[in-house]
Amino acid sequence: MSSRGNSVAKGWRAGLGSRALVSMTGEGAFVRLYGVVAAGGFRRYTTYRVATAAGVFTNTVFGVIVAYTYIALWDQRPNLGGYDQSQALTYVWVSQALLMTVNMFGGGFADELVERIRTGDIAIDLYRPADLQLWWLSADLGRALFHFLGRGAVPLAFGALFFDLALPTTPGTWLAFLLAVLLGVVVSFALRFLVALSAFWLLDGAGVSSLVSIAGLFFSGMLLPLNAFPGLLGEVARALPWSCLLQIPADVLMGHHHGTGLLGAYGFQLGWAALLLGAGRVLQSAAVRRVVVQGG
């Protein structure tokens, strides 16, 4: 059988060229492919400029509202969760800046993936010579970069201008923050990928997805820093993957983690990322097997 396949390749000049190159530039081609996917993920959001402007406005308004709520709260309970008032305000504006970047509400690509599974468009993704999880991860990283720049920078600058924030002055701390945000994005992606794949079995992922959205909103620390959660609830919340999304990047930015503590924070994020991405892979191969064998 294989000899027949070879003769096809030899006879078909045009096809031979492209296949010969595959083995030559394996890794480079891999990076380039997912680079293009990520660039596409970035660019598709740049096309919706009005939506972005409206989003920035909303984030800023909410930031102001939450900021005054926190001021009131920290007046009553100074040093709540170990933050002084300017740290609490920094937390507010970082959370507004990262809201879309790490997709704390859920949704985003996950809704799209669920829709593709429901309509059967997923078939197109499956016959592509690309990995489903890496494809969507790349696209989501591109989106996150856009949201970080487009939706994050302005609210944070606004907060820094009109409120007294505890922002770092050393570039090293900012870089450390960026890495923590990147890892937060990956953990957030891995979570939502798992949720989206459940649509292969449930067909309608809306229930699971809204459940996870609410959990994400609460356990990411979007409402109140996880440091301020009391007792057991706080310990549990800080151990869950959602703490990678906002709490850890915010603490890294405010210099709460140094040296081995910083490595520990990264390790915690990496651990969750690896665990959830791994679970995603297992679920993905089960889902593909289900589709391929049973026809969905």
What residues make contact with other proteins under the rule CB under 8 A? 1-2, 4-8, 11-12, 14-15, 17-19, 21-22, 25, 29, 32-33, 35-37, 40, 43-44, 47-48, 120-121, 123-124, 126-130, 291-295
Torsion angle defined by CA atoms of residues 194, 199, 201 and 202, in that order, rounded to the nearest 10 degrees: 120
State which residue, 17 or 231, has the beta carbon closest to other proteins. Answer: 17
Report in angstroms how near the CB of residue 142 gets to other proteins at its nearest: 11
Report in angstroms how near the CB of residue 100 gets to other proteins at its nearest: 17
State which residue, 20 or 211, has the beta carbon closest to other proteins. Answer: 20
Report in angstroms how near the CB of residue 28 gets to other proteins at its nearest: 9
Three-state secondary structure call for residue 91: helix
Closest among 135, 131, 138 to 288, alpha carbons compared? 131
Report in angstroms how near the CB of residue 144 gets to other proteins at its nearest: 16
State which residue, 17 or 259, has the beta carbon closest to other proteins. Answer: 17
State which residue, 28 or 231, has the beta carbon closest to other proteins. Answer: 28
Report in angstroms how near the CB of residue 261 gets to other proteins at its nearest: 40
Closest among 160, 158, 162 to 90, alpha carbons compared? 160
What sign has the CA pseudo-torsion 191, 197, 199, 201?
negative
CA distances from 109 to 5, 139, 193 (A): 39, 8, 9
CA distance 224 to 201: 35
| Placement of tokens 């959830």 in the chain | 276
Q: And the tokens for 71?
A: 């001021």
Report in angstroms how near the CB of residue 9 gets to other proteins at its nearest: 8
Report in angstroms how near the CB of residue 163 gets to other proteins at its nearest: 35
State which residue, 3 or 170, has the beta carbon closest to other proteins. Answer: 3
User: What phi and psi values does residue 120 have, to the nearest 5 degrees?
Assistant: 90, 0
State which residue, 41 or 184, has the beta carbon closest to other proteins. Answer: 41
What sign has the CA pseudo-torsion 227, 233, 239, 244?
negative
Three-state secondary structure call for residue 102: coil
Is 296 exposed, middle or buried, given 0-12, 13-18 or 19+ CB atoms closer than 10 A?
Answer: middle
CA distance 254 to 94: 10
State which residue, 17 or 230, has the beta carbon closest to other proteins. Answer: 17
